[in-house]
Amino acid sequence: MPSNNVAIKILHVIGARPNYMKIAPIYQVMKKHSELFQQLLVHTGQHYDPNMSEIFFQELSLPEPDINLNVGSGSHAKQTAQIMERFEPVLLDFRPDWVVVPGDVNSTLACALVAAKLGIKVAHVEAGLRSFDRTMPEEINRVLTDHLSDVLFTSEPSGNANLMREGIDKEKIFFVGNTMIDTLVQLLPVAKMRWEKLHEVYHLDRYILVTLHRPANVDNIDRLREIVGALSEVSMDYPVIFPVHPRTRKVIMESDLDCSYLTMVDPLGYLDFLCLESKASLVVTDSGGIQEETTFLGIPCLTVRPNTERPLTLTNGTNRLVSANRKELLQSIYKVLEDGKTNEPPSLLLWDGRASERIVNILKGMDR
């Protein structure tokens, strides 16, 4: 515990939709200890669409950001550079003791790099995850952020092993659990109350829920055509609801893909999506966070990727990696649906809704 009575200054970085669920519970725990922490919430604007941003602040009880860098979209280089340029004056003005960065998006790396160069300590939430696939921009962001960070909070045991194998001092590494699961545990009862309304809107009983956003899937037209083809075919037997990421919708429209058999909707808020996810017969995705949520919920998940940075979801969860090939994907979907098994949610170490409390307790005891 710091010896003086001055509050620890914490700057939280959020930039993209998954960050909100990871930071919200930490922010809320620190708010309960306002005598110990002075918090500043900085939104980089990496996700700026209202459906991808504003509604999440309302539903997750996050305040409006103290500062919005309004970076918007762009190439990886342009977006990362603009975040760095706009973030530096914020750090120089606020002079935090810690910059807390979650996940693996461009905002994560950009802000960690600026802080490290200014000698400001960095805490990485969800550290140590590895897909071992350097073609994924997120993998580069993860590795570099971890090696810049002063404290690394891991969500599953593989994270600790990966970090120590890369030579990171084990004294910096803390296995705390998963802050996304903290948010899920807190809000699942609220989300389930929305089922009656959602059922009325979509007329769903047994259905498949889909999300796709990774460049490897949506920027490769041939690959996207295979995935959409499989989903369209299975939709003859099982309804498919597809909340469409803005970049995915843009590619679909430009490519003139036939998605007429799919129920395509705008991105959903956290509560509506969580409700649909908890009731789905199957989730097809390429999202890392959804692999974790479905594992916790016991919902079958097919991840359209050749690898995952979250191996716990494969070995202890309900997740399986599947090919984007139309025939192979279709076979995998029907196998899950025809098995008709109900999955008991696994009991995963420290996925108990209290990861944020552990993080806050660790930071309370750190030197500035």
Known catalytic residues are 213
Closest to 356 measured CA to CA, from 119, 180, 215 = 180
Sheet with strand 319-321: strands edge to edge: 263-265, 240-243, 208-210, 282-285, 301-303, 319-321
Which residues are within 8 A (CB) of 92 and not within 5 positions of it... i.e. 6 or more apart? 118
Beta strands in 53-188 (DSSP E): 67-68, 98-102, 121-127, 151-154, 173-175
Partnered with residue 14 across adjacent β-strands are: 43
Residue type, 158: S
Structure tokens at 20: 């909100």
State whether residue 86 is helix, strand or coil: helix
Q: Are strands 67-68 and 151-154 parallel, antiparallel or unpaired?
A: unpaired
The angle formed by the CA atoms of residues 111, 88 and 6, to the nearest 5 degrees, is: 85
The DSSP call for residue 8 is E
* 175 and 157 Cβ atoms separated by less than 8 Å: yes
Instruction: Round to whole Å and give the CA distance between 290 and 268.
Output: 14
Which residues are within 8 A (CB) of 368 and not within 5 positions of it... i.e. 6 or more apart? 2, 8, 97, 121
Partnered with residue 11 across adjacent β-strands are: 40, 99
Residue indicated by tokens 């500062």 = 67
Residue indicated by tokens 């829920």 = 209
